[in-house]
Structure 1
Amino acid sequence: MKEVGFTTAIVHSNRQAGAEHGAIHKPIHTSVQYGFDRVEDLVGVFQGSIKGGFNYARQGTPTTAALETLITGLEQGVGSVCFATGMAAITATFLTLLQSGDHIITSRFVFGNTNSVLSTLVRLGITVSMVDASDSAQVAAAIQPNTRLVFVETIANPGTQIPDLSAIGELCKARGLLYVVDNTVSSPALFRPKSVGAGLVINSLTKTVAGHGSALGGSVTDTGCFDWQTYPNILDSYRKGDAAQWGLLQIKKKGLRDMGASLSSEHAHQISLGAETLALRVERSSTTALALAQYLEKHPAIGRVYYPMLSSHPQHAIAKKHFSAGSWLLSFELRDASDCFAFINRLQLPIKATGLGDTRTLIIPVAHTIFWEAGAQVRAEMGIADGLIRVSVGLEDSADLVADFEQALHG
């Protein structure tokens, strides 16, 4: 089929790949074991000489493989591996590609659970330098002889900080470093990290891609931008065949086969269905989020609003350069932090919940929940004030959502 638009490609992905019996959607394959007529074929799948076969569901099923094909297309990559959650995808990437004595550079502004994983890496003998990645000079200054990769998020949760994506990509290319970008908030509907030279792209599929709060999942996509022949931590057993597949093969074997962070067929199916409306949902939620951000920025009870498409945002120019819209994520600070709980309780539409990227608007006080375990010092370093509130904007009518915030702010 000739090249088509973003959503057209998604909704026809299964059909183009040849779903069984003419089905419009890929069936849900629940089988754990997969049999063969010839033992030679079973051996071939185990040893990798036969591509696309299945032997045990821990390493994938036809349903998860269909989702991997879909995600690969969305990110314009050369292959993807799906995991049970976004955190499983992040953890598997770190633990399969790094070893004791390595050094990595990450943004200082990363998701709370990702920050926790980084602390685990330190305990395993991996050095982590956390910098303000909106300044590529800080990334450059942190590079050491044993630096293996640079990790950033396109739009940070919860503060919406944005790295200097293209400058870091150029730096990684020049220094031969693996560039890993978490694209969860923006999603491929707004931005493709391959465009700035990212070698690996991670998505928490639970959020923007699936979008309905009904399925957990994560993915790692190889964009084809990184030369794995130069990466020292690829094991000898995976340095066979096409070098472009070495990194993803090691992530899959170690992350799925050894660690067991496998995505279920049921959730893979739900994610595939959710992805069909990805662009439509992102456009709607981004429009509403901008309207809400603009309203909040003018309100006297609000100290500061964090949203990439506001001209007041520190990285507004980077956002306008790379993203087609601002996404569903915004945060703001109440001038009176002591009113935080009472204000949230006065809201009628947003659901008080910890998730992100749902069809319903979700709201949470950041310092008291998702960054509570990090401690006051880390929160201060990340600019997380006691009155910071995070909003994941859903699909409600914009006027209804703004009106609800207005009545809550008036108390």
Structure 2
Amino acid sequence: MSRQGMTTQLVHLDRKNNNIEQGAVHSPTTNSVLYEYEDAQGIIDVFQGKQAGHVYSRSSSPSVSALQEMINELEGGEGALCFATGMGAISSTFLALFRQGEHIIVSRYLFGNTRSFMGTLESFGIQISYVDVTKLTEVIDAYQPNTRAVFCETIANPVTQVADIQSIGRYCKERGILFIVDNTMTPFVIFNAKAMNASLVVTSLTKYLSGHGNVLGGAVIDTGNYDWQTFPNIQPQYQNGDASQWGLTQIKKKGLRDLGATLAPQSAHAISIGMETLALRTQKACDNALKLATFLASHEKIERVFYPGLSNHPQHYIAREHFHDGYGAILSFTLAKALDVVALLNALELVICATHLGDNRTLALPVAATIYAENTAKERAQMGIDDQMIRLSVGIEDIDDLVSDFSRALNKFNQPG
């Protein structure tokens, strides 16, 4: 049989990949914390990594393993680990892999919570260089002999800068350093991180993959592009067996197990159900985002719209080359200076004022005063964040209704003078 379409794969992946008894089409939710071994040698072998199995649900469970296998197959990876949140995935990965005195190059445009975590790493003695990842030259200039990794998001939140992913991936491969990519804004139905030489992919399952705003989760996927035998920080006890699994094994043991950001079986089940409609939801949301961005860009009360699908976006051609079936569903715009951001948000009736992304509903948020309130004005300026900026996570509503909601709300204000 020829390779099936993405939606067909998503709808049938659970029942085809996992051992489901009695004809069920979804993996069962396994609520047990502990797992019995009639032969004590079995639990010894699992603890020592000599055979696969579950011993305690903080480290693994059948429900979470089923989801991990699905995500890994769709990303084309060597393995995946799921966590309670996207930040749990990021923090567990970085704390498991990097040491005091080492250096990481990261995007200047990182999401607020991720940037805050980078500050935590700095307090632990890990050096961080913030660079403009839309320019390969800045990455190259930041490289040091102790550099271990480059980390960036595909599309930055909220100003939508698009990293020069292909060039950075090629450079990291040449240097033999990890390239860690956060593809939360562009899940695998839009973007192939493995093809860009990403070593590890981190993502928030809370956002587009689950899609319904009802569950938290995160994941890290090893694409198989990196040779862990060359990584200096793999601890001796994890240098056993297949070398392609060394990195994930250490992340699982020193990150997931030790830090405890465990995804609940019920959450794994909810995420797997949400994934079935990922391709359909993403395509609709991306289509809506482009049309809404086009409308807002032509409105006299909007100063500027930030969306990679617009031809005047600084990285439009990079986005057009690397993303397929859409440019993502996040956009931001700056309201004319004479207008009040809070008043506009209060005037919207359909669009919800809430902090979240990737929901079926369109969400709006005043950026500077909320998710970037802890950053200084100078830091916000470096990231391109204006006090008049509003971020939108565009949903799957009928586009005419979204345009009508913004048109009506904007028309409540007098012409800026």
TM-score normalised over the length of structure 2: 0.97
Structure 2 counterpart of 1:31, which letter?
Answer: S
Per-residue displacement from partner, 1:352-405 (whole Å, max 9, x unpaired)?
A: 110111111111000000000112121111110000000001111000000100
Query: What is the CA distance between 1:18 and its match in structure 2?
Result: 2.3
Aligned partner of 1:153 in structure 2 is 153
Query: What is the CA distance between 1:4 and its match in structure 2?
Result: 2.1
5+ residue gaps, structure 1: none
SS in 2 for 1:331: strand
Aligned partner of 2:40 in structure 1 is 39
Query: What is the CA distance between 1:65 and its match in structure 2?
Result: 0.4
Distance 1:276-1:194 versus aligned 2 partners, 3 A rule: same
Aligned pairs (5 A) from 1:396-407? 396-407=397-408
5+ residue gaps, structure 2: 413-417
Aligned partner of 1:375 in structure 2 is 376
- Distance in 2 (alpha carbons) for counterparts of 1:152 and 1:279: 24
Query: What is the CA distance between 1:14 and its match in structure 2?
Result: 1.8
- Distance in 1 (alpha carbons) for counterparts of 2:9 and 2:316: 30
Aligned partner of 1:62 in structure 2 is 62
- Distance in 1 (alpha carbons) for counterparts of 2:342 and 2:312: 26
Query: What is the CA distance between 1:338 and its match in structure 2?
Result: 4.8
- Distance in 1 (alpha carbons) for counterparts of 2:256 and 2:164: 32
Aligned partner of 1:358 in structure 2 is 359
Aligned pairs (5 A) from 1:123-162? 123-162=123-162
Does the alignment pair 1:193 with 2:199? no
Query: What is the CA distance between 1:21 and its match in structure 2?
Result: 2.2
Query: What is the CA distance between 1:60 and its match in structure 2?
Result: 1.4
Query: What is the CA distance between 1:20 and its match in structure 2?
Result: 2.2
SS in 2 for 1:128: strand
Per-residue displacement from partner, 1:54-81 (whole Å, max 9, x unpaired)?
A: 1100011110001001110121111000
Aligned partner of 2:388 in structure 1 is 387
Query: What is the CA distance between 1:114 and its match in structure 2?
Result: 0.3
SS in 2 for 1:191: coil
SS in 2 for 1:189: coil
Aligned partner of 2:30 in structure 1 is 29
- Distance in 2 (alpha carbons) for counterparts of 1:214 and 1:295: 30
Aligned pairs (5 A) from 1:247-396? 247-324=247-324, 325-336=326-337, 338-396=339-397
Aligned partner of 1:96 in structure 2 is 96
- Distance in 2 (alpha carbons) for counterparts of 1:21 and 1:89: 34
Aligned partner of 2:75 in structure 1 is 75
Structure 1 counterpart of 2:194, which letter?
Answer: K
Structure 2 counterpart of 1:364, which letter?
Answer: L
Query: What is the CA distance between 1:15 and its match in structure 2?
Result: 1.4
Query: What is the CA distance between 1:335 and its match in structure 2?
Result: 1.5
Q: What CA RMSD, in Å, does the superposition of the two structures yield over aligned residues?
A: 0.9
- Distance in 1 (alpha carbons) for counterparts of 2:338 and 2:165: 33
- Distance in 2 (alpha carbons) for counterparts of 1:141 and 1:49: 44
Aligned partner of 2:51 in structure 1 is 50
- Distance in 2 (alpha carbons) for counterparts of 1:256 and 1:135: 33
Query: What is the CA distance between 1:182 and its match in structure 2?
Result: 0.2
SS in 1 for 2:149: strand
- Distance in 1 (alpha carbons) for counterparts of 2:154 and 2:384: 18
Query: What is the CA distance between 1:5 and its match in structure 2?
Result: 2.1
Aligned pairs, number: 410
- Distance in 2 (alpha carbons) for counterparts of 1:337 and 1:383: 20
The share of aligned pairs that are identical, in percent, is: 52
Q: Which moved more, 1:17-26 or 1:114-123?
A: 17-26
- Distance in 2 (alpha carbons) for counterparts of 1:391 and 1:208: 14
Aligned pairs (5 A) from 1:195-274? 195-274=195-274
SS in 2 for 1:198: coil
SS in 1 for 2:249: helix
Aligned pairs (5 A) from 1:159-174? 159-174=159-174
SS in 2 for 1:283: helix
- Distance in 2 (alpha carbons) for counterparts of 1:164 and 1:134: 5
Asked whether the equivalents of residues 187 and 209 of structure 1 are also in contact (C-alpha less than 8 Å), the reply is yes
Asked whether the equivalents of residues 337 and 387 of structure 1 are also in contact (C-alpha less than 8 Å), the reply is no
Distance 1:337-1:253 versus aligned 2 partners, 3 A rule: farther
- Distance in 2 (alpha carbons) for counterparts of 1:47 and 1:7: 39
SS in 2 for 1:187: coil
- Distance in 1 (alpha carbons) for counterparts of 2:4 and 2:34: 36
- Distance in 2 (alpha carbons) for counterparts of 1:248 and 1:373: 33
- Distance in 1 (alpha carbons) for counterparts of 2:227 and 2:92: 20
Aligned partner of 2:20 in structure 1 is 19
Structure 2 counterpart of 1:117, which letter?
Answer: F
SS in 2 for 1:105: strand
Distance 1:189-1:346 versus aligned 2 partners, 3 A rule: same
- Distance in 2 (alpha carbons) for counterparts of 1:402 and 1:185: 22
- Distance in 1 (alpha carbons) for counterparts of 2:22 and 2:257: 30
Query: What is the CA distance between 1:311 and its match in structure 2?
Result: 0.2
- Distance in 2 (alpha carbons) for counterparts of 1:339 and 1:182: 33
